[in-house]
Amino acid sequence: MAAPQIPNLNTLRRGPRRSRPDDGPYRPQGKDCIVQSTDNDASVSRLSAVELGYLDDAYVEALTPSESATRRFPIINRGTYVRATAIDQLVARFLGPYSADNQKKQIISLGAGSDTRIFRLLSSRSTPDFVYHEIDFSVNTAAKVRAIRSSSLLQQVLGINASENKVTVSKSADALHSPSYHLHPLDLRVLSPNTSSPETILPGVETELPTLLISECCLIYLSPTEADNVVAFFTKHISNHTSQQPTTPLGLIFYEPIRPNDPFGRTMVSNLAARGIHLQTLHRYASLEAQRARFREQGLASGQAAADIDFIWERWVGEEEKERVAGLEMLDEMEEWRLLARHYCVAWGWRDRDDEPVFGGWKNLEAQEGSE
Ligand SMILES: C[S@@+](CC[C@H](N)C(=O)[O-])C[C@H]1O[C@@H](n2cnc3c(N)ncnc32)[C@H](O)[C@@H]1O
């Protein structure tokens, strides 16, 4: 059978959109520019899903650089919806219900780009019981600092104008530090277990706090060794358990493409390669089982789980919500949707303490079994 027609996943867009007057088009420079510009694809997809009613996100517009067009095709919008809501669900279960005497927790988002999650979380919890770190290349963190500086909405959520909050921006205007939010300009490829501790290289990171690491389509762009080194940097320094010190709970969430070896997967890989995008860890972590094994090897011994986007749509999204989403746009390419959705997955793994588990809420999330 001939390979199905596969849309070029991140570039599908329809119709014009207004431009944002305060910001020119995003033109990254240098050899990493293609990887850096994938953030633009992700944020345009998020904006498309928000404008059509899939997602509710008041911050996406302020963080999306102006573009000539935004509207993605229905299968892409549904994929963006499932990806965002699945990760939101895992994050919510890590943080737990808000209460004034919650133990403080920490979230570190790798390759966060223009992601809006920090703003959505800050606006949903009255006194933040977490500290949130975002890491990306300097060109992308500088763009985020500019977006924050030109949006009173974003500033308000960060409490920039409130006298009790201290917010500092680096001289080079690519780093931002506030009590609950830190934006770090850093090439992740410098991190390895031998790199000096997070406190030095990532100001504000606390190695004793229960920590969640998120890689939403980020580590896939690193070589397998570099990607493993980034994770080892955090598992060594955050969950540094010794006989004197109990394990610090640490969880990881990956959102990544999988199954590159079937006809759809091969076409997906070659479409991306035509744009100069090479998903370097894709063949190493090609299946759900490979993702789970990755967590085991990384010492996340308390639990490892994974599910593709098709499964998450079917099993995590309630019937009423499915109907609402299905009513937003006509999606007649069901076969294409399922193929696409089977080629992206969310994987999550964690190590916890036995006495007061932090990741207990992840245990009863339905995941897929099997080796494929
Ligand atoms: C596809 S975008 C995803 C952005 C965001 N996580 C989201 O899902 O909306 C990938 C991001 O990873 C970042 N990234 C890739 N390699 C990186 C590296 N070596 N160091 C820092 N950031 C990196 C890119 O700059 C880009 O912002």
Distance (Å) from CA 355 to ligand 1 centroid: 35
134 C-beta closer than 6 A to ligand 1: no
115 C-beta closer than 6 A to ligand 1: yes
Atom of ligand 1 nearest to the CA of 36: 25
* Residues facing residue 132 across a β-bridge: 107, 181
38 C-beta closer than 6 A to ligand 1: yes
Residue owning the nearest CA to atom 13 of ligand 1: 111
pLDDT (average), residues 62-88: 90
Which CA distances in Å does 320 have to 316, 323, 325?
12, 5, 9
310: left (phi over 0), alpha (psi -120 to 50) or beta: alpha
- The answer to whether residues 346 and 90 touch, using CB atoms and an 8 Å cutoff, is yes
Distance (Å) from CA 339 to ligand 1 centroid: 25
82 C-beta closer than 6 A to ligand 1: no
- Please determine, for residue 14, whether its predicted confidence score (pLDDT) is greater than 50: no
Q: With 0-12 CB in 10 A as exposed, 13-18 as middle and 19+ as buried, what is 357?
A: middle
Spatial separation of the C-alpha atoms in residues 189 and 196, rounded to whole Å: 14
Task: Establish how many alpha carbons lie within 13 A of residue 281's alpha carbon, considering only the half-sphere containing its beta carbon.
Answer: 23
Residue owning the nearest CA to atom 5 of ligand 1: 112
Distance (Å) from CA 173 to ligand 1 centroid: 19
Among 137, 174, 212, 277, name the best residue to mutate to test ligand 1's pocket (greatest count of ligand atoms within 8 A of Cβ): 137
Q: Look at the block and give the residue holding tokens 């986007």.
A: 309
Q: Mean pLDDT of all residues in the chain?
A: 89
355-364 long-range Cβ contacts below 8 angstroms, 24+ apart = 357/249, 357/302, 358/94, 358/105, 358/210, 358/249, 358/251, 359/93, 359/94, 359/249, 359/251, 359/302, 359/303, 361/93, 361/94, 361/96, 362/90, 362/93, 362/94, 362/251, 362/303, 362/305, 363/303
Phi and psi torsions of 342, nearest 5°: -80, -10
Structure tokens belonging to residue 20: 């944002």
Q: Name the pTM for this structure.
A: 0.91
Per-residue confidence (pLDDT) for residue 244, from 0 to 100: 56
- Please determine, for residue 308, whether its predicted confidence score (pLDDT) is greater than 50: yes
Residue owning the nearest CA to atom 10 of ligand 1: 218
344 C-beta closer than 6 A to ligand 1: no
- The answer to whether residues 280 and 108 touch, using CB atoms and an 8 Å cutoff, is no
Structure tokens belonging to residue 70: 């935004």
3-state secondary structure of 275: coil
ipTM: 0.99
Distance (Å) from CA 324 to ligand 1 centroid: 31
Among 43, 218, 255, name the best residue to mutate to test ligand 1's pocket (greatest count of ligand atoms within 8 A of Cβ): 218
216 C-beta closer than 6 A to ligand 1: yes
82-122 tens-digit pLDDT: 999 999 999 999 999 988 888 999 999 999 999 999 999 99
246-257 tens-digit pLDDT: 689 999 999 999
Q: What domains can you pick out in the chain, each with its CATH number?
A: 3-362 (3.40.50.150)
Atom of ligand 1 nearest to the CA of 46: 9
pLDDT (average), residues 359-371: 92
Per-residue confidence (pLDDT) for residue 15, from 0 to 100: 41
3-state secondary structure of 254: strand
Between CA 307 and CA 333, with CA 49 as vertex, the angle to 5 degrees is: 65
